[in-house]
Structure 1
Amino acid sequence: MGYRWVVLCVGAVAQGTNAAVFLGLPAISPQLQQHFSLTLPQVGLLLGAVNLGTMIALVPWGVVADRRGERLVMTIGGLGAAACLLSAALGNAWVAGLALLGAGLFGASVNAASGRAVMSWFGKDTRGLAMGVRQTATPLGAALTAAVLPGVAISAGVPTAFVALAGVTAFVALAVALLAREPPGAVRAGAEHGLVLKDPRLLRLSLASGLLVVPQFTATALIVPLLHDHRGVSVTAAAAVFAVAQALGGAGRLVVGVWSDRARSRIGPLKVVSALTAIGFALVAVLDQAPLPVLVAVLVPASVLALCWNGLAVTEAGELAPDGRSATAIGMQNSVNYLSAATTPFVASFVAVHVAWPAAMALAAVSAVVARVLLQPWRSLRASSPQNSRSVS
């Protein structure tokens, strides 16, 4: 087996561990609400702190990864995130919020740097699959966290849940330090990165991605409260539905990755997924008061569609960049995602509580429609740089 698969495995595990924080924590929303004496919108703000920190730090981490390599960036970032998670266990809601902001600032290192590793080690004919594997780790990490963390929080308390996340994060950071490395002939970037960030195709892609994050994080933030608070399902059962949706979303990322490799296009499949996501959330809004099995039967596929597209957008962003600057491009694309992710839990929760639950789902559907419109005139251009043809064994 080529060493590229070792690097992919390490990067995917790091990605999944990072997802345990920013996607897994919503599974214990009821426990966070009770432990910190918060309202549901306030819990949305608390959870959004992770995404806000990530959004701020993504481009800087990407620039550093392009210049210094992904191993250094992911190791420092992972250990810093672990320290912040430990801090979250020690105080009140304000301390936890600041600590989660710090966890996002450090955890952002994984997003840009692990994407750079995939771009460096895999050629364009297998990059969709490889990036799909990397991106699949995100919902799978969230699903595993959703399956385990509520039990930890209920039996041992919210602080113990934070300590557990910190321990896993530190362990994975050490594994990255030992196993991650660049391929022979890897290109390091110089000081010039402004042209990457000003590419109009990258800006359009980033905006469309940010809009697609709205349904994704509406589902992530509201599946458990929707089923538990709105429809009376137990916390355990609601968390199980959340975990199933995350796991299927992970499988979907592999499917669309292979699809994009065979189609030799990332944007074509992304357009289709955007349209289907809009339809799915529109149906959830309409069927809000349908019998519970019917609602779940629509909610889970809509959530899966909202989760499965990320690898397509990340791969396209990396392939738009000049050789040696993929982490900066991925950081830019991810920054808009995390800006949306930082605000969506609060906005969706506010709309659900103060307007109506169907209105929150309709807002997600409209966002997917606008994203699809932005992608309509797209013509994906393949750069001829070594980055877009290299495949290392």
Structure 2
Amino acid sequence: MGYRWVVLSVGALAQGTNAAVFLGLPAISPQLQQHFSLALPQIGLLLGAVNLGTMIALVPWGVVADRRGERLVMTIGGVGAAACLLSVALGNAWIAGLALLGAGLFGASVNAASGRAVMSWFSRESRGLAMGVRQTATPLGAALTAAVLPGIAISAGIPTAFVVLAGVTAFVALAVALLVREPPGAIRASTEHGLVLKDPKLLRLSLASGLLVVPQFTATALLVPLLHGHRGMSVTAAAAIFAVAQLLGGAGRLAVGVWSDRVRSRIGPLKIVSVLTACGFVLVAALDQAPLPLLIAVLVPTSLFALCWNGLAVTEAGELAPEGRSATAIAMQNSANYLSAAVTPFVASFVAVHVAWPAAMLLAAVAALASVAVLRGQRSLRGVRHS
């Protein structure tokens, strides 16, 4: 049974490396803006290309993972993502946008396939913790990227930063190929998967998840521009605050995962976290011009709540699936996330620049409350479900 932790560790490493691209890149948005000579909303579109590519490819990768296993899917995806990231270093803004779209298309393999590995190797009683570990790798990867990548981008340039990302991604793909395998007796899916995608509970969960991504990516995409461009903090200091928020968000994913195991519910904790997220963004909007230490004191825990919910939704999606279909169900839930993630950076940036920064924060709060309304009356399954 100890090998399951090896699989979880490698899957979490792949998840964190993928997060370095779709969550960590906003930490160098000022350097990207300068390098490509783009406005802030255009940077939102550039960063959103990763999420758009991921959203398009998630369900196909999930179906393949259910039929062929997670090792093949994550290895191919990792190698492809590394090649695309390397291409960003070689081109202009248009080439970078297409390459980031490709990085999302290939990187999507990690999201569904590593989730299937957790569902296969861990029982329901410990999946909250295990998925919390996997999901914690996402903000940790973003935090490490925020701590390291701005320095690389400033000292060596944007192309070098993407070469480094490509190298790390390729290394992790090799680790997956060598170390990940399915447990004995793992069930592979048949050719039918339509019923999974039409499950009304899964559809509601997916919609609620997509709404919760609005505050998550508002916090992720706008934290550095808010503190640096809007309030005058240095890029390095703003990136450090971003990193702290990501680290705390990672710890929060572990905590809510354990919480959900103990109360035997994913939906109940998910609703509570959503309400706390909404309250936090309302406070951030109200404190827009408050002294900077006070704004940061509210912004950091708000970012924590906005980041910590994801593992609950992913675990619930996997547990709603029939045998052998967890990757497809997780991919469905994640598709809504990435559709929202593809548009949120641009929309939030546009509202912040052309309306007001508090308006962008209030938009995030409304989306969090809407997710609670969508999940009204829905409860987690208490029986044991298989992957």
The two structures share one fold, judged by TM-score above 0.5: yes
Amino acid of the residue matched to residue 261 of structure 1?
Answer: D
The 5-angstrom pairing of residues 6-21 of structure 1 reads 6-21=6-21
Q: Is 1:252 the equivalent of 2:283?
A: no
Q: 1:240-284: CA deviations, max 9, x gaps? A: 000000000000000000000000000010010000000000000
Structure 1 contact 90–159 (Cα < 8 Å) conserved? yes
Match of 1:43 in 2: 43
1 CA distance for matches of 2:121 and 2:381? Answer: 20
Q: Which residue of 2 aligns with 1:55?
A: 55
Structure 1 equivalent of residue 91 of structure 2: 91
Q: Which residue of 2 aligns with 1:391?
A: none
Task: Indicate the residue corresponding to 1:74 in structure 2.
Answer: 74
Aligned length: 387
1:370 aligns with 2:370: yes
Alpha-carbon RMSD: 0.7
Deviation at 1:380, TM superposition (A): 1.9
Matched residues in 2 for 1:206 and 1:156: separation?
40
What is the match of residue 354 of structure 2? 354
| SS at structure 2 position matched to 1:153 | helix
Contact 1:79/1:170 (8 A) holds in 2 = yes
Seen in structure 2, the aligned counterparts of structure 1 residues 324 and 358 have a Cα distance that, compared at 3 Å, is same
Secondary structure at 2:359 match in 1: helix
Deviations 1:294-347 (A, max 9, x none): 000000000000000000000000000001000000000000000000000000
- Residue 257 of structure 1 aligns with an amino acid whose one-letter code is G
Letter in 1 for 2:339: L
Q: Does 1:339 align with 2:339?
A: yes
How many Å separate the matches in 1 of 2:383 and 2:145? Answer: 38
Is 1:171 aligned with 2:146? Answer: no
The runs of 5 or more residues in structure 2 that have no matched partner are none
| Counterpart contact for 1:320–1:383, Cα < 8 Å | no
- Describe the superposition over 1:1-54 as per-residue Cα deviations: whole angstroms up to 9, x where unpaired: 710000000000000000000000000000000000000000000000000000
Query: C-alpha distance in 1, partners of 2:385/2:76?
Result: 30
The corresponding residue for 1:24 is 24
Cα distance per residue 1:51-80 (max 9 Å; x no partner): 000000000000000000000000000000
Superposition pairs for residues 225-244 of structure 1, below 5 Å?
225-244=225-244
Q: 1:385 to 1:280 in 2, by over 3 A?
A: closer
Q: Is the 8 A contact 1:253 1:308 kept in 2?
A: yes
Question: Quick one: structure 1 residues 257 and 385, their matched pair in 2 at CA, closer, same or farther if it must change by over 3 Å?
Answer: closer
Amino acid at match of 1:132: G
Equivalent residue of 2:188, what SS?
coil
Identity of aligned residues (%): 86
Give 1:377 deviation, angstroms.
1.1
Letter in 2 for 1:103: A
Local SS of the residue matching 1:358: helix
Letter in 2 for 1:293: P
Shift of 1:382: 4.0
Per the TM alignment, residue 85 of structure 1 is displaced from its structure 2 partner at its CA by 0.3
Quote the Cα distance in structure 2 between the aligned partners of 1:120 and 1:380.
19
Counterparts of residues 40-189 of structure 1 (less than 5 Å): 40-189=40-189
Residues 318 and 326 of structure 1 are in contact (CA less than 8 Å); yes or no, is this contact kept in structure 2?
A: yes
Amino acid at match of 1:372: V
**Matches for 1:218-367 after TM superposition, within 5 Å:** 218-367=218-367
Alpha-carbon distance between aligned partners in 1 of 2:93 and 2:149, rounded to the nearest angstrom? 19
